[in-house]
Structure 1
């Protein structure tokens, strides 16, 4: 995620880091060079004059803008839902940690510490599960070494950790430390963790339907490649500049939608899962007077991972 102070309008015009311009620059340059070539030959292909006007491009551009708006709003909805789920994960983890410290009678500080460590491990395991990374290093900070390796090698370590948290509550109930009337309080919090986990898995495993990507991709490129032929008779040598501006708008919107579609990735505009999981860890360990065990992520070139 891009983290930088609010910029004045003028320097904001020239910001590259965090924009999609570097990724679309080769395509934008290619479209602009084509527009220059069309302008030089005045819209002729060999001896054939391509007779196009700006009228069909106005109609097609409106339809294309609607498609791009739909895709970007859908992609942002996925991004915001993912962020909301991680916010729910933080709130629920805090609540469960406080309950483990206050509700069991007699108090069980060692057991509560183990429960909180597993909550920390849950957030880090979810981060790696969503990104397809190796969770062994982070899990080893909170779990015994052998258990951390076994969980990291499991297909879904988060489900295993969630089962262990349920088992922790069940054991204390059998011992009489947690009254039966209090158990639903724990179960409600653990169910919220499961809902957040399932929501993240749903977003990660269900992309926007491929047909939308194909339609928008083809339409954007056909529009940008044919646009010079429709403008050259009217704009003359201003055609490349106008084509470059229009192509930048459409290509950038397509690229932004593609980035936001997967909010759990490692692109500059994706969610900073390292920072979010560390924040959950720090918040929970503070309740038992322990310092964070994983390093706090720092923004590099304004990008926070």
Structure 2
């Protein structure tokens, strides 16, 4: 995810990094080139004049725009829900660490819990992205615990189990009193529910058939559009086709990116930065500095 200050209106017209233009450039060039050819041939194919006007394209364009708007709204709802769930992990980790420090008889024992929460945050990032968490986990867990987490099918769930085990160990040792355990377990339950919500979003994409219908409709519309505009606007046809095609192609590409908010595209969630924020926030309660490297600005988001 790219986070930047609000740009001047003129710079917004030419911004490249973070836009979907690099993704849609090949099909945009192909559509515009096809429109140029049709314009030069005056809308004829092999001496057959394709008799179309802009009326059907107006009706189809409105319908297509409605479907695209609905798909993008659904994709953004998934994106925002994912960001809300990750924010809950941040708040829950911070609260759980504060509870362990204030409710335990030995504040030093809370360090182990804090480290396991940091490991959990990084494990969530790697599980959702399908990457190896070892490099981050080794800063917070023992070698045996790192092996347990990284070899698990669901590393974040395993890291959360280690956090839950801390409560049992400290309850048996007398560091925690029984009446304080429900408060800690409630915070842990919020972390588990947030993880489950992220897993649900990651494993349940928007129905494929719906995406195929929109994809085919957009391409058919853009490649037939020059025939409907050529007689009305002449040599301006390629320009108008390029603008309309850019709008439809860009909206489709943006919806595809937002549909999977845990990826590494420019408009996906900044998981690395969020995990680092959880780590920094938790360790600050222990008066310790973060142990991993802060992500670059392009992948940094405020909590």
Rounded to whole Å, the distance in 2 between the matches of 1:17 and 1:53 is: 37
Between 1:31-40 and 1:163-172, the stretch displaced more is 163-172
Q: CA deviation at 1:279?
A: 0.6
Cα displacement (A) at 1:175 = 3.3
Instruction: Report what 2:78 is aligned to.
Output: 78
- 1:253-303 deviations in whole A, cap 9, x for unaligned? 00000011110000011111111100100111111111111000112xx45
Q: Distance in 2 between matches of 1:95 and 1:168?
A: 16
Residue 182 of structure 2 corresponds to residue 174 of structure 1: no
SS of the aligned residue for 2:296 comes to: coil
**How large is the Cα RMSD of the aligned pairs?**
1.2
Contact kept, 8 Å, 2:222 with 2:241, in 1: the verdict is yes
Contact preservation (8 Å) 2:42, 2:231:
yes
Partner of 1:93: 93
Which position in structure 2 is the counterpart of 1:57?
57
Task: Report the Cα distance in structure 1 between the residues aligned to 2:144 and 2:163, rounded to whole angstroms.
Answer: 18
Q: Distance in 1 between matches of 2:16 and 2:206?
A: 27
Unaligned runs of 5+ in 2: none
Aligned to 1:35: 35
Q: TM-score, normalised by structure 1?
A: 0.96
**Number of the residue aligned with 2:127:** 129
Contact 2:258 2:267 in 1 (8 A): yes
- Greater shift, 170-179 or 54-63, is seen at 170-179
Aligned equivalents of 2:175, 2:293: Cα separation in 1: 35
User: Over residues 216-250 of structure 1, what are the superposed CA-to-partner deviations in whole Å (9 max), with x where a residue is unaligned?
Assistant: 00000000000000000101001000000000000
Alignment of 1:1-305 (within 5 A): 1-104=1-104, 106-109=105-108, 111-299=109-297, 302=298, 304=300
* Local SS of the residue matching 1:174: helix
- The 1-side partners of 2:106 and 2:174 are apart by 11
* CA distance in 1: counterparts of 2:170 and 2:36, whole angstroms: 75
Cα distance change of structure 1 residues 282 and 304 upon mapping to structure 2, 3 Å threshold: closer
2:263 and 2:269 in contact (8 A); partners too: yes
Unaligned runs of 5+ in 1: none
How many residues are aligned here? Answer: 301
